[in-house]
Structure formats: C-alpha cells, structure tokens
Structure 1
Amino acid sequence: METLEGTELCFPQLFNTSCRKPMRPHFESMLIYILLSSISLLTVTLNLLVIISISHFKQLQTPTNLLLLSLAVSDFFVGLLMFFQIILIDGCWFLGDLMCTLYQYLAYIITSASAGTMVLISIDRYVAICYPLHYSTKVTHKRVQVCVCLCWICSVIFQSLVLNDVLKQPGRFNSCFGECIFFTNYIAGIADVIFSFIVPITVIVVLYMRVFVVAVSQARAMRSHIAAVTRQRSVKVTAKKSEIKAARSIGVVVVVFLICLCPFYCVAITGQDNLLNASSAEFVICLYYFNSCLNPVIYAFLYPWFRKSINFIVTLKILQPDSCETNML
C-alpha cells in the first residue's frame, strides 16, 4: 500500500511533505503533451520567422514593422515558456522554487509587454488611417524605438511590484514540495487585471472603432465620387466589400484577443481555486499562451512581404551577399 501511495507522490522520499500527482488517464496526458508541444513549437517558429524577416531585410524596417518585431519577440519567449508549462502536465515541478518564481516573473513580464505592444500597434494604425498626412512626422523610427523600450521597462517595473511578495521569498506560497503556483495578492491581482487587460483592450477597441468609422466614411466618400462617372450598382458592391473587409480585420484582432485572454483574467479576479479543477486551470493558461501563436498569423501572415521573406529563409537565399537589400514589397 505504501508503495502504491509512493508512486502517486512527486517526491516519494518526502512522504509527508511531497505533492501528490493528479490521477489522469494516459491518453489524456499524451494528448495534452502533443497539443502543448505543437503549440509551443509553432509559436516559436512563426515568431522567429517574423524576427528574422524584419531584422534582416532593411526595406521591412519601418516604424510599424518595428512594433511587429517587438510583438514577435515577446511572443517568441512566450512559446519558449510554454515548455515549462509542459513540465507541469504531470502536476509536479522538479526545478525548484527559484526557477518557479523566475518562470512566473518572466511570464508576467512578457505577456504584459505583449499587451502593451498591441496597444502601440493600434495607436500606429489609428494615426496612419485617421491622420495619414501627419503620419511620417508623428511616427518615426526613433519615437517607435523609445516607445517599445518604455513598454518593456514599464512591464518589468510593474510586474516587479505585482510579484513583490513572491520575489522576496520564492516558494513561500507553495503548500508542498513539487508545486509551482502563480500567486499574487488580491490588490496586486486587480492592478494587473486593470493595467494588463482592461486598459489595453479598452484602448484597442476605442481606437479600432475609430479606425472603422473612418474607413467606412472613406468608402462612402469614394462611392459618392465614383457614382458620378460609373454605374451605381458596381460602386455599391465595392463600397460594401470595403466596409466588410474593415469590419473583419478589426473583429479578428479584438475577438481573438478577448477569447484568449478573457478566461484567464476572469479567473484571476474571482480565484481559480474556487472555480476550476487542475485540468480547467491548465486549459485557461494554455489558451492565454495560444494568443501568442495567433499574433504572428494576424499581424504578419496577412502581409505579402512575410510570405516572400519565408521563401527567402526556407530556400536559404537569405545567406546570399547583399540579400538584406532585396526588394520585399
């Protein structure tokens, strides 16, 4: 009987203080392993392609793409951090309290910086569409670089304050050996929800709605202008397609962000211990991370230059002399 119980412990030699492994079917464990490993590998690969593309080809180093580069860097590290989440599938953490704290600290910083970068991207698009004549003077390489640096610095400072208790004494909130829990006190958790989710999503929604209104008004203005020299029916179709395209682009950005992040922050406010079992908690965290896999698809795969740069990278043309000067647009 003792042997059977020992096999259920993370550290059998620490019978009284070791965490117990959750009882889970082998098929379910293998499915989770494969799913998380695939998402992690895909996230790292896609974002690495974005990083290489923008960093290598000079023509792609525009202010907007510098923001995409920052987003890709944060999402790349999220993909790497998912390997730590894979370690926790069996319910046991074998890397020690210090690594657990470091994992939590980096995860909070990177995801916070990712949300901040998304806000910067929405501001960039707002200025580009609503104030096109002033875009080149308001949005410069230097200003974008400063904003990106401030975004990362603020994320580090803010999350250091949020995780102050954990950083002071790693593992203080673990109830047994082999446990790695993400813990913040209630006030710090509320502050994190406000500044890492509510404020960013509010800014994104408001700015994109403004962009949508401007895009629709421009489509209607174009329809009115062309109606004087062409048939009304064809113009209506063109204008309608423009409006649908604008609505779809905005909807994808906002809805995907909400779907992936809402469950995590709702749990953060209410307390996951009261609402979720271990499997559900893992699903919420993985869905949160999955947003980093979708970001390069939403922000980069829609651009033709990205497909062209992938071809250069895969065929190793990127290794040719002066390949950085290639016309990618």
Structure 2
Amino acid sequence: MDTAEVFLSVLVLVIIIVSLLSNVLVLICFLYNPEIRKQVPGVFTLNLTFCNLLLTVSNMPLTLVGLVSTGQPGGGDTFCQLVGFLETFLTTNSMLSMAALSIDRWIAVVFPLRYHSRMRHRDAALVLGYTWVHSVCFSTAAACLSWVGYHQLYASCTLHDPGESDRTQFLVFTVSFHCLTFLLSFIVLCVTYLKVLKVARFHCKRIDVITMQTLVLLVDIHPSVRERCLEEQKRRRQRATKKISTFIGTFMVCFAPYVITRIVELFPSIPIDHRWGIFSKCLAYSKAACDPFVYSLLRHQYRKTCRDVLNRLLKPSSFNASGRGQHDHETRVRNNGVPAAAE
C-alpha cells in the first residue's frame, strides 16, 4: 500500500467510527425523548438514521477490507451481491429521506397554520413508503440483472458494469437511476430550501423594521445596546442562510463527486484513477457521518436530550461513589475506636 491508500484506509476507518457513534446517539435520543417521537420529521430522521447505521456496519467495513487487501473481501460472489444490493438500496433511501425532510421543512415554514393538517404521521408514512418502493425497485432490478458485484475502482461491492453484452442497458439503467435519485433529490432540496430561505428572509426583514423603529423611538438608548441589536439582526439574517447552505452543500459535496464518477465511468475511453474512485466513495460514505449533526444533534432539542441522558448515566455512578466514600469513612471511624455518632 502506498501513502494515498494508507490515507484512504484511515479515512474510511474514521468515517466508520464517527458514523457509528453519531447515528447511535441519534437513535438513543429518539428512544429517550417522547417529544421527538411525536414529531412528524422524526419518522424521516429515524429512517435516515437506520439507513446510515446499516450502511456503516455492512458496506463500509468491507470497503476497508477490500482497500487493505487490494482485492474482493471474503464471502464469495453471492455475499458481495447481497452487500451491493444493500448499498444501492440504502444510498437511494438516504437521498430520498433527505428530500422528504426538506419537503417537511418547506410545508412547516411556508404553510405554518396548515402544517398539522398537511403533514401528519399518515402522510409521512406514505412518503416513506414511496422512498422504500423507489429504493427496492432499483436495487432489485440491478441484482436480478447481475449488475452488482465487487468493483475494483471503488474497492467495494456496488453497481458493476456487466461487460460488452449489456453495456447499453446498463448505461440506460445507471443514468436513469442517478437522475431519478440523486438529481431528483437535489432539485427537491434546492426548490424547497430556497423557498424556506425566502420566507425566512422576509420574516427577518419584518423583524428588522420593527427593531429599527423601536431603536428610533428609544433616543436615550445606550450605544452599546443599539450595537448589540444591530449585531443580532445581522446574525439572524445569516443563520438561515448558513443552515440552508449546510443542507444543500453537504449533499452536493458528499454525493456529487461519486455520482459524476459513476457517469464518467460509463465511457471507457476516459481513464479514472482507482485512488480517486475510492476517495469519491469515501465522500459518499461521509454523508452517513454528517447527517446526524446536520439534521439532529446540532438542534437544541437533541442537545438537551443528550445532556439529560448523560446526566442520567452519571448520577448512579456519583451516588455509588458517594455511598462507597461514606462507607469507607464509617469503617475508618470504627477502626479508630470512635463512635460514628460522635462525628
């Protein structure tokens, strides 16, 4: 292994650890907090978390083994086809779950008064059902046509070119798959989040007008207070833009290089270095490690739940430690011949 392959191996290992810990933490928060379970977006978040966890424990370790051993990991072709089926299904389901989350946010922000009537748990189940049907159809079609297997360019079990006999069919399938999955999800993300950003900026502008009118009326206000109000206006305008940029930016940075590489791969005349292929695969894997922070753990409700879980775990330890300390103190007192009541 050269230096680049060692770096890629370490990168995959780090992604596995971060993805496993962060997604498990999201799952713990979901199970611990009933308020999170009652919310409709929690259905999409839970589905996304399960997809990321399954991808972390099934596909990423095999990619690491394939990268280290520079060959197909053990288990045979049937096992690799099963893993390739899972990879196609889970990646597709994750992308569509992100699109579903963006639709939910769009309805909540643009139609706040009608949100509870337009997005109920039943409606979320129907949207989730579509993501599953969509993912199962593409992954099953690829598996039935023997278009999944070990791919040396990505050191993983994934969609694989069958050869000259079915190249045209595979080309049509691959382009259709990425257009109806990656491109469709990207368009939904852009349309919905840009609508959300437009509404958020409109509300910020109204708040800014009210704030400025208040500052004009309060002529005796201290300059430092006025400055803090203006800084808060600026932060409020930037906050919505940063969130929207994070949602769309992480999707593009993680998935776009891999999808573009898969499309370019369809043209044999264009050479692709295997290190770039593995790196693009690592970027796609890294989305599973980013999603818990982008959609869950950085939100106030999840942070508070994490603190509550941590405090609940630490309290028994503190109680046991204090109990042992009191017991040791009483033992020392008795050994010294002094009654404990005299202390």
Same fold (TM over 0.5): yes
Can you list the C-alpha shifts for 1:232-264, whole angstroms capped at 9, x where unaligned? Answer: 966654433222111111111111111111111
TM-aligned CA deviation for residue 165 of structure 1: 1.4
Partner Cα separation in structure 2 for residue 261 and residue 143 of structure 1:
28
Instruction: Determine the structure 1 residue equivalent to 2:240.
Output: 246
Structure 2 residue 185 is matched with structure 1 residue 196: no
User: Counterpart amino acid of 2:62?
Assistant: F
Identity, % of aligned positions: 19
Compare CA radii of gyration and give the structure with the larger one. 2
User: Counterpart amino acid of 1:83?
Assistant: P
Count of residue pairs brought into register by the alignment = 291
CA contact (8 A) 2:32 2:305 kept: no
Return the TM-score normalized by structure 2.
0.77
Does the C-alpha gap of structure 1 residues 60 and 186 become closer, same or farther in structure 2, counting only changes over 3 Å?
same
Deviates more, 1:250-259 or 1:136-145: 136-145
Instruction: Determine the structure 2 residue equivalent to 1:51.
Output: 27
Partner Cα separation in structure 1 for residue 156 and residue 140 of structure 2:
22
SS at match of 1:228: helix
Instruction: Determine the structure 2 residue equivalent to 1:206.
Output: 191
TM-aligned CA deviation for residue 179 of structure 1: 9.0
Partner Cα separation in structure 2 for residue 276 and residue 138 of structure 1:
47
CA contact (8 A) 1:112 1:155 kept: yes
Structure 2 residue 291 is matched with structure 1 residue 295: yes
Instruction: Determine the structure 2 residue equivalent to 1:105.
Output: 85
Within 5 Å, give how 1:1-329 maps onto structure 2. 24-25=1-2, 28-61=4-37, 62-80=39-57, 81-89=59-67, 90-93=69-72, 94-166=74-146, 182-184=159-161, 185-231=170-216, 236-271=230-265, 274-314=270-310, 317=313
RMSD value over aligned CA atoms? 2.7
Please identify which structure carries the higher helix content: 2
Partner Cα separation in structure 2 for residue 297 and residue 136 of structure 1:
26
Deviates more, 1:117-126 or 1:156-165: 156-165
Structure 1: 5+ residue stretches without partners: 1-23, 321-329
Partner Cα separation in structure 2 for residue 83 and residue 47 of structure 1:
16
User: Counterpart amino acid of 2:31?
Assistant: S
User: Counterpart amino acid of 2:246?
Assistant: V
Partner Cα separation in structure 2 for residue 187 and residue 318 of structure 1:
56
TM-aligned CA deviation for residue 287 of structure 1: 0.8
Partner Cα separation in structure 1 for residue 294 and residue 92 of structure 2:
19
SS at match of 1:300: helix
TM-aligned CA deviation for residue 278 of structure 1: 1.9
Partner Cα separation in structure 2 for residue 181 and residue 106 of structure 1:
9
User: Counterpart amino acid of 2:125?
Assistant: Q
TM-aligned CA deviation for residue 314 of structure 1: 4.3
Structure 2: 5+ residue stretches without partners: 162-169, 218-225, 317-343
Partner Cα separation in structure 1 for residue 279 and residue 315 of structure 2:
40
Return the TM-score normalized by structure 1.
0.80
